[in-house]
Amino acid sequence: MILTVTLNTALDLTYGVPELVPHASHRVSDMAERPGGKGLNVARVLSALGQATVVTGFAGGSTGAVLRELLAQLPPRDTTGTDTRAAAATVTPAATTATATPVPAPAPAPITDALVTIAGNTRRTIAVVDRTTGDTTQLNEPGPLVTADEWAALLGRYAELLTEADAVALCGSLPPGIHVGAYAELVRLARSSGVPVLLDTSGEPLRRGIAARPDLIKPNAEELAQLTGSREPLRATRDARRRGAHGVIASLGPDGMLAVTPDGVWRASPPARVLGNPTGAGDSAVAGLLSGLVEGLSWPDRLRRAVALSTATVLSPTAGDFDRAAYEELLPGVDVEEHTAAAGDAVG
């Protein structure tokens, strides 16, 4: 299974309003509520890819209870009554043998709730979508104060889960009370357990986490610039690698991804530029990279999957979901170009 860690989970609310007018009163015309935080979003995409996933991190209070209730309803039940786990097991390996690219539509795999219960209230995030322009205004609560005992409980749970994990993703911001070196600690534990670890965070927690030598980081251009001071993608990505990450997959928005890894340097680009909501595109990319890793795909195939998933997420009408048909259509068209040996040698 793949383990995702979300220390600052969130109950994600989406409010549609006819038009957002500051200082006015709005009646919410449509709303949606779902379990959120980056690691939970990654788990949702992994499940859709047929990868059994366990989620840990913190959840508490009344919002935490709602989050877990909604999480228990994932993946959506198969209305035909088929056992989705069995279906996934039957379909996936056969199809993988037949083609080099991953299976387009396996049945969803289970997501297991291994969240640690805390006393504080899980935060809410609110995305206010202006239904006239389609623009989103985001309001994020800071998150609950996590105590030292709760952090210790998380460490215990994490160590236990690592024994069965094929890979782990550490995702998102730190809630109040968690020390800035927390991700470094989790990276070291994964590495000493021999579990490949991907770190997807920003700022000081990323800087500290990288020093603990994670297998992969997946910064976007803004996070890379903040980390390295450079806005030149290749230079910044190589610099990030020098700081300790074994592989750096820089997500460059509509330009695709740049991968600087121990095995080479690749640039992967979507077949066309698309318009849509980029929310969750990075989480889909993480799911693509990790599922490709545990399935033993080559770097080019992992990148193809990550770019296609991420582009299909931008195209989806629901923020954070990916459009399955778009994903299948995009996948063969993703262009992956290997950098010359000279360029590769210059790395790290």
Q: What SS3 class is residue 12?
A: strand
**Angstrom distance (rounded) from CA 60 to CA 53:** 21
Q: Between 65 and 225, whose beta carbon lies closer to a second copy?
A: 65
Q: Are 197 and 222 in contact (CB under 8 A)?
A: no
Output the smallest distance, CB 133 to a second copy, in A.
8
Cα 34 to chain centroid, rounded: 16
| Nearest-angstrom CA–CA distance, 304 and 292 | 10
Question: Binding residues for a second copy, per CB under 8 A?
Answer: 15, 17, 20-29, 31, 62-63, 65-66, 69, 126, 128, 130, 135-142
* Residue number, 23 or 98, with CB nearest to a second copy: 23
| Cβ-Cβ contacts under 8 Å for 323 (sequence gap 6 or more) | 312, 313, 315, 316, 317
For 80, which DSSP code? T
Catalytic residue check, 283: yes
Q: Considering the complex, what minimum distance in angstroms separates the CB of residue 25 from a second copy?
A: 4
Whether cis (ω within 30° of 0) applies to the bond prior to 75 is yes
Nearer to a second copy (CB atom), residue 64 or residue 288: 64
* Cβ nearer to a second copy, comparing 140 with 147: 140
Show the tokens assigned to 144: 């609950």
Q: What is the closest distance, in whole angstroms, from the C-beta atom of residue 15 to a second copy in the complex?
A: 6
Q: Which of 12, 200, 283, 301 is catalytic?
A: 283
Task: Kindly state the smallest distance separating residue 140's Cβ from a second copy, in Å.
Answer: 6
Cβ-contact 251, 218 below 8 angstroms: yes
CA–CA separation, 84 and 159 (whole Å): 28
Residue with Cβ nearer a second copy (22 or 194): 22
Query: Tokens 């990030």 appear where?
Result: 240
- Tell me the closest approach of the beta carbon of residue 11 to a second copy, in angstroms: 9
Active site residues: 283
